[in-house]
Structure 1
Amino acid sequence: MVKAIVGANWGDEGKGKITDMFAANADIVIRFQGGANAGHTIINEYGKFALHQLPSGAFHEKVTNIIGNGVALNVPKLREEIGKLTDGGVPAPNLLVSDRTQVVMSYHILFDQYEEERRGGKAFGSTKSGIAPFYSDKYAKIGIQVNLLFEPEVLRAHLESILPIKNALIVHLYNKPPLDLEEIYREAIAYGEWLKPYVADVSTFLSAAIRDGRKILLEGQLGSMKDPDHGIYPMVTSSSTLAGYGAVGAGIPPYEIRDIVAVVKAYSSAVGAGAFTSEIFGDEADEL
């Protein structure tokens, strides 16, 4: 059975805590969208941890944790997260990464920073994690899937075709130094080398898991008011935050999602710029 856990507000509703609670009885927990731009805080016997990319099942040894194809995968951040867990005495998580997941490159983060600087007072309030440029590349069909990291010649040719476009924008729009092909190529190859032990055909794995009746949790990031279609556009994130996207971002049939848990916060809060209905200020806001 598949259960989806999503936010009903702007995020920060406590989805990590709820997912961790359900994960105790789950077999698989899947992150299906978003990236390192928001975190789920979990407090347990090991201490307090903020998970930005790892699924919240990471603290349960019997759980298989999956990063689905809908995620914006920041490899250095993922490596850092796993390191913080193991340094805190948590057993290394059982982790799979879909071979169809795409990776956030350093230039995505640069573009995010440069665009926020360029917009000045009209900035979106981005976390500058490279999320919008990443998804822009994904839907422009010039992103880098994990499986491409293991095809060096194809990867190089891909970078040779897209970097002139990137550099034209960087130099002429943002007035910044151009990207170096060899440096970006080495970055991508290094990502592949680190990821290799975790990479799997996740869709096939999940198909078998569903057939075997295993309990699966889909863990959403942010909340419905940050959805690019149904949130307060344009002050939204760049991937769908709704339960329906769980089927796409995880790689399962939509009819397999049997239960949806929408987590609601007692009082609303939001990060970034933009309209925020019922926002309060002053001492009362500071106390909350």
Structure 2
Amino acid sequence: RFNGGNNAGHTIVANDKKFIFNLLPSGVLQGAKCILGPSVVINPSILIKELELLKNNNIKTEIFISDKAHIIMPYHIKFDELSEQRKGIHKIGTTKKGIGPCYADKINRIGIRTIDLLNIEIFAKKLKTNLEEKNEIIKKIYNDKPFEYEEVLNEYKQYIEIFKSKVTNIETIIHNAINSEKNILIEGAQGTMLDIEHGTFPFVTSSNTLITAATGCGIPISKIKHKIGIVKAFSSRVGEGPFVTEIFDHIGDEIREKGQEYGSTTKRPRRIG
């Protein structure tokens, strides 16, 4: 998986059983080594739920997490919610999962990465510094309740053991696979028109959704031999933004119901066109 976070749900049917994942790539059901790349943003609580889903269904697979991937914090989710509320009718229509604010911190070079969680002293220091600024914004701009440092720290301490067993330099794993001429399937999230650069800005996601973004996993573009484009029989969209071929009548409603076109993550009805 090379982009996004738990804002992008995907449904997989294997052996007549339906699974819904928001973070883990589809390969987890095939016994393949699975990787969450450096451009993925990770909500630890969601990741743990998906790992428990695998365990409860006796599905065994190796899962690795990039040490460069950024972690979604409670204040990211809070900012996502407060920002959407403040925009009112001009809202973007985000999933309010904290994805955008997490990527914003990454670009602003103040984000907390998975490798930071492996050293509690480093994590605690970065958390304290970030909360000082975030709480000021929450109180003075949004007039909302600030976060308690100890509460957030204690919550994330419980994730350390899970991350210790999975966080690694994924570039080494990928390069070893390339050198051994093994097949690597790079899975993206979301569609072309949600790409932060080439989509219907500002009604886009906060990451690059196109295959060129896969180079962020450390794979040379020259090594990508095949590109698989997935196209639906009809178009759909969740949230706000332009949709020039949108169907508003009973036909759109019928397609939505027959195709079960509701967001895997938010359960919101998808717009059909």
TM-score by length of 2: 0.90
Query: Does structure 2 retain, via aligned residues, the 8 Å contact 1:64–1:94?
Result: yes
**1:137-174 deviation digits (Å, cap 9, x = unpaired):** 11101111111112222222212222121011100111
Query: Does structure 2 retain, via aligned residues, the 8 Å contact 1:46–1:90?
Result: no
2:46 paired residue among 77, 92, 95: 77
- Supply the AA of the counterpart residue of 2:161: E
Q: Where in structure 2 are the equivalents of 1:81-120 lying within 5 Å?
A: 81-87=50-56, 89-120=57-88
Aligned residue number for residue 268 of structure 1: 235
Aligned residue number for residue 36 of structure 1: 6
Q: CA deviation at 1:46?
A: 5.2
Structure 1 unaligned residues grouped into runs of 5+:
1-30
Query: Bigger CA drift: 150-159 or 274-283?
Result: 150-159
Q: CA deviation at 1:98?
A: 1.1
- Supply the AA of the counterpart residue of 2:227: I
**1:250-282 deviation digits (Å, cap 9, x = unpaired):** 222222111111111111000011111110112
Aligned residue number for residue 215 of structure 1: 183
2:17 paired residue among 47, 51, 56: 47
Q: CA deviation at 1:284?
A: 0.3
Task: Output the CA distance in 1 between the equivalents of 2:124 and 2:21.
Answer: 32
**1:71-125 deviation digits (Å, cap 9, x = unpaired):** 01111111111222332x2413321111111111111111111111111111110
Query: Does structure 1 retain, via aligned residues, the 8 Å contact 2:35–2:63?
Result: yes
Q: Where in structure 2 are the equivalents of 1:161-176 lying within 5 Å?
A: 161-176=129-144
Partner SS state of residue 205, structure 1: helix
Matched residue pairs, number?
Answer: 255
Query: Does structure 2 retain, via aligned residues, the 8 Å contact 1:82–1:92?
Result: no
Identity within the alignment, %:
39
Q: Which has the higher strand share?
A: 1
Aligned residue number for residue 36 of structure 2: 67
Aligned residue number for residue 218 of structure 2: 251
Structure 1 runs of 4+ with >4 Å offset: none
Query: Does structure 1 retain, via aligned residues, the 8 Å contact 2:118–2:163?
Result: no
- Supply the AA of the counterpart residue of 2:218: G
TM-score by length of 1: 0.86
1:283 paired residue among 236, 244, 250: 250
Task: Output the CA distance in 2 between the equivalents of 1:168 and 1:204.
Answer: 40
CA RMSD of aligned residues (A): 1.2
Partner SS state of residue 210, structure 1: helix
- Supply the AA of the counterpart residue of 1:267: F
Task: Output the CA distance in 1 between the equivalents of 2:54 and 2:118.
Answer: 27
Query: Bigger CA drift: 90-99 or 65-74?
Result: 90-99
Query: Does structure 1 retain, via aligned residues, the 8 Å contact 2:79–2:98?
Result: yes
Query: Does structure 2 retain, via aligned residues, the 8 Å contact 1:32–1:70?
Result: yes
Task: Output the CA distance in 2 between the equivalents of 1:104 and 1:191.
Answer: 13
Query: Does structure 2 retain, via aligned residues, the 8 Å contact 1:170–1:176?
Result: yes
Query: Bigger CA drift: 233-242 or 251-260?
Result: 251-260
Aligned residue number for residue 118 of structure 2: 150
**1:17-62 deviation digits (Å, cap 9, x = unpaired):** xxxxxxxxxxxxxx0100000111111215111111111001112x
**1:183-221 deviation digits (Å, cap 9, x = unpaired):** 222233222222111122101111111001010000010
Task: Output the CA distance in 2 between the equivalents of 1:192 and 1:136.
Answer: 24
Structure 2 unaligned residues grouped into runs of 5+:
256-273
